[in-house]
């Protein structure tokens, strides 16, 4: 403006400020809308930092699914834990985690996903610190359950927040990375556990969570936006109680039957039947209440239901295999905890390689055939375990592990995207909860079922060889491969000559055939065949029911969307903590 000096500009500035104040008073909605767009732009620009923060929280939770496996022999020796107590420490985490994710998803939708995510971090960190100081196996079981409550609050929020932060054109890639990190974390657990156990006490596998939780909490405070659904339903206490009781009864019924080597016992059968009945009642109740923690109507969508089945069968097989590989590497092949952890790394490496590439395969052949192909590769890798013998070099198992990971990568990423894209954005929390719960509960059932099969087959196979041991310790030695070694350690102190005579042909060297190794691999072979059959069954379900056309929206090729193209649920992320 010609001839306008500093005072003139100052006068115009006061006029602009006055006009802005009038506009704010007269039309507050317009001002709020402009602010909302600014918040969305900041959220969009920081979406990858948000992902890194969420994945950090996810990784420590998923690692804790498998980090305990490599520490089982150490805990067995140092805390005097039985096989049932060791299994209970694993399953207390898995069952509680799986049972509460429905509730955690609803909590996130209703009260805010960031708030529940950060609250879960606090509980998980405190419980991890306490678990690292557990004085006996029973304390460990209880504290693992407490950790699982925090983990259940964390996991569904990671996926539902990502679904709301990333626009549709980028969502498939984001979910593929999320799925790859999930799979890699499962394999990373034994590596981290082995590294810690080589230098520190067994409790360090839990203590390591504390500094990571602190760092993730600080990052989440500044980087993760808050979002929620104002129309989310209320709590469903009946569904919560029924799901926890039903799943707990079924799984621990299976474990008890395996411990006693008698699934037909009144207690074992009674628990299983009772649990199934409660789960049936759970489905009936959830189909009638207005705000269910588990909306069974989701399964009327074939894309949702078939993809969920694929995830369930894949993780059912994977967790069962991971359980027995830890003992195979340490007790049969004589590897240290760190070496055993590194030995399962090929499973995670394959998922890091193939999961981010799954969207490209989906774009070419569709989710139906991508998932079916993944389950087929998974089934083949599991079946090939039948040909593993005691004297085989460990790299044979590495190759099979890589195949297993490659197959699973092409199941989890497209299945997760199919589940999330089949639901409206306002149900992101519930959809993520169902997806994560399906994975976790299937893994828990895999550990229970395959652990039980392995235990029964080992006991039957090792029984004839136990004649070299004193009769008083034969029953304990037949319970598990861990108990067998505990018996020999005890016998070595009380009767060294008898222990030496028996161990010459009974225990394993690194590449030496032995009674323990042969008996254990008999159980592995049977377990692997059953796992392969389940993977094939999942492939059949996918080929029959998963829609062939209509690719998930996140996998369609499209130009990068602008921030305002992102789908939000009924409550915007405009109220996010944007700094």
Separation between Cα atoms, residue 473 and residue 43, nearest integer Å: 63
What's the rounded Cα separation, in Å, for the pair 178 and 216? 16
Phi/psi for 182 (5° steps) reads -60, -50
Q: Which pLDDT score, from 0 to 100, does residue 485 have? A: 66
Q: What is the pLDDT of residue 525?
A: 86
Q: What is the 3-state secondary structure (H, E, C) of 321-372?
A: HHHHHHHHHHHHCCCCHHHHHHHCHHHHHHHHHHHHHHHHHHHHHHHHHHHH
Q: Which residue has the tokens 């960031």?
A: 114
Q: List for the chain the helix, strand, coil content (%; round to 5).
A: 80, 0, 20
Report how far apart, in Å, the C-alpha atoms of 250 and of each of 255, 257, 284, 422, 530 are: 9, 11, 18, 30, 19
What would the DSSP string read from start to end of 84-118? HHHHHHHHHHHHHHHHHHHHHHHHHHHH-HHHHHH
In terms of pTM, does the model score above 0.85? no
Per-domain residue ranges of the chain? 43-236+289-463+513-560, 237-288
- Predicted pLDDT at 568: 39
pLDDT at 564: 41
Q: Are 338 and 195 in contact (CB under 8 A)?
A: yes
Mean pLDDT, contiguous 10-residue spans, the chain (579 residues): 44 49 51 56 77 87 78 77 73 75 76 88 94 85 91 85 76 74 72 81 88 92 78 71 81 65 73 90 86 74 84 78 72 72 76 81 85 92 86 83 87 80 67 70 73 78 69 65 67 61 53 65 85 90 79 38 39 36
Residue 182 CA to residue 126 CA, distance in Å, equals: 23
Q: Which CATH architecture has domain 43-236+289-463+513-560?
A: Up-down Bundle (1.20)
Q: What is residue 562's three-state secondary structure?
A: coil
Whose CA is closest to 551, among 423, 422, 410?
422
């Amino acid at each position: 403006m010609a001839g306008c000096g500093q005072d003139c500009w100052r006068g115009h500035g006061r006029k602009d400020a006055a006009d802005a104040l009038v506009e704010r008073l007269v039309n507050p909605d317009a001002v709020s809308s402009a602010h909302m767009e600014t918040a969305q732009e900041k959220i969009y620009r920081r979406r990858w930092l948000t992902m890194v923060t969420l994945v950090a929280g996810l990784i420590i939770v998923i690692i804790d699914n498998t980090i305990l496996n490599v520490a089982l022999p150490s805990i067995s020796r140092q805390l005097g834990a039985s096989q049932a107590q060791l299994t209970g420490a694993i399953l207390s985490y898995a069952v509680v985690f799986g049972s509460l994710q429905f509730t955690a998803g609803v909590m996130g939708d209703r009260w805010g996903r960031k708030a529940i995510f950060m609250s879960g971090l606090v509980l998980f960190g405190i419980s991890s610190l306490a678990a690292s100081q557990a004085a006996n196996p029973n304390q460990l079981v209880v504290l693992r359950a407490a950790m699982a409550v925090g983990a259940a609050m964390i996991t569904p929020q990671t996926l539902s927040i990502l679904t709301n932060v990333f626009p549709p054109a980028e969502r498939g890639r984001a979910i593929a990375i999320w799925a790859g990190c999930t799979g890699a974390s499962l394999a990373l657990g034994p590596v981290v556990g082995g590294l810690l156990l080589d230098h520190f006490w067994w409790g360090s596998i839990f203590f390591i969570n504390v500094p990571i939780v602190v760092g993730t909490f600080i990052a989440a405070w500044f980087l993760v936006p808050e979002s929620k659904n104002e129309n989310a339903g209320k709590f469903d206490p009946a569904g919560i109680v029924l799901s926890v009781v039903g799943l707990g009864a079924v799984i621990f019924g299976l474990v008890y039957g395996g411990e006693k080597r008698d699934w037909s016992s009144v207690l074992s059968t009674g628990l299983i039947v009772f649990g199934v009945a409660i789960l049936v009642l759970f489905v009936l109740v959830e189909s009638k209440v207005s705000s269910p923690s588990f909306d069974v109507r989701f399964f009327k969508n074939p894309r949702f239901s078939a993809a969920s089945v694929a995830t369930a069968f894949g993780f059912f097989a994977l967790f069962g295999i991971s359980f027995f590989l830890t003992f195979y590497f340490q007790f049969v092949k004589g590897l240290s905890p760190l070496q055993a952890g590194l030995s399962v790394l090929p499973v995670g490496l394959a998922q890091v390689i193939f999961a981010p590439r799954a969207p490209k395969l989906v774009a070419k052949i569709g989710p139906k055939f991508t998932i079916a192909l993944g389950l087929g590769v998974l089934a083949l890798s599991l079946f090939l375990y039948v040909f593993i013998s005691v004297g085989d070099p460990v790299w044979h198992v590495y190759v099979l592990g890589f195949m297993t990971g490659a197959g699973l990568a092409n199941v989890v990423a497209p299945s997760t995207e199919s589940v999330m894209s089949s639901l409206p954005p306002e149900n992101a929390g519930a959809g993520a909860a169902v997806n994560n719960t399906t994975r976790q509960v299937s893994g828990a059932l895999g550990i229970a079922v395959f652990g039980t099969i392995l235990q029964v087959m080992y006991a039957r196979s090792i029984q004839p060889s136990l004649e070299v041991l004193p009769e008083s310790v034969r029953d304990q030695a037949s319970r598990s491969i861990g108990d067998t070694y505990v018996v020999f350690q005890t016998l070595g102190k009380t009767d060294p000559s008898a222990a030496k005579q028996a161990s010459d042909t009974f225990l394993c060297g690194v590449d030496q055939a032995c009674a323990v190794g042969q008996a254990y691999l008999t159980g592995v072979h049977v377990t692997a065949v059953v796992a392969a059959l389940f993977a094939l069954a999942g492939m059949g379900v996918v080929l029959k029911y998963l829609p062939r056309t209509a690719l998930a929206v996140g996998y369609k090729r499209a130009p990068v969307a602008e921030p305002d193209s992102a789908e939000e649920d009924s409550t915007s992320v405009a109220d996010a903590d944007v700094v």
